[in-house]
């Protein structure tokens, strides 16, 4: 049985909100010094990338409405498979600068599908 596309979007939204929660009271230096926060954030980025990868397989038209989806999936692959070492500063930058745009796009799709 196929999963509802909204479930993948929900996974992305919840993981993005968790990342924002994990990093809410931190700056880049505090994040770089907190291995537990780094592990938690990276895990949630893995969930985001996998959910979007599965969404793309299930509903390509909907997935195409997610900005930078191929880059998000590639980032997940880097985190999991270690194709390239991911710098702590890069993860921080993505969490602070790219994640809000992704969250807005996903929330808009969820609102539309509700």
Is the pLDDT at 83 greater than 70? The verdict is no
- pLDDT (mean) for 75-86: 84
Which residue range forms the structural domain that includes residue 67?
Answer: 5-113
**Six token digits for residue 68:** 């930078």
- Minimal CA–CA distance to 55: which of 5, 111, 112, 110? 5
- pLDDT (mean) for 5-25: 97
> How far, in Å, CA of 50 to CA of 67, rounded?
15
* Counted domains in the chain: 1
- pLDDT (mean) for 48-77: 96
- Minimal CA–CA distance to 9: which of 74, 42, 43, 58? 58
Q: Give me the pLDDT at residue 53, please.
A: 97
């Amino acid at each position: 049985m196929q999963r509802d596309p909204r479930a993948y979007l929900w996974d992305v939204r919840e993981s993005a909100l968790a990342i924002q929660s994990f990093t809410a009271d931190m700056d880049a230096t505090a994040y770089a010094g907190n291995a537990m926060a780094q592990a938690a954030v990276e895990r949630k980025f893995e969930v985001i990338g996998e959910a979007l990868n599965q969404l793309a397989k299930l509903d390509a038209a909907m997935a195409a409405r997610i900005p930078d989806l191929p880059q998000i999936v590639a980032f997940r692959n880097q985190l999991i498979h270690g194709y390239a070492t991911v710098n702590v500063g890069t993860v921080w930058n993505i969490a602070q600068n790219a994640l809000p745009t992704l969250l807005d796009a996903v929330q808009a799709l969820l609102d539309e599908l509700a």
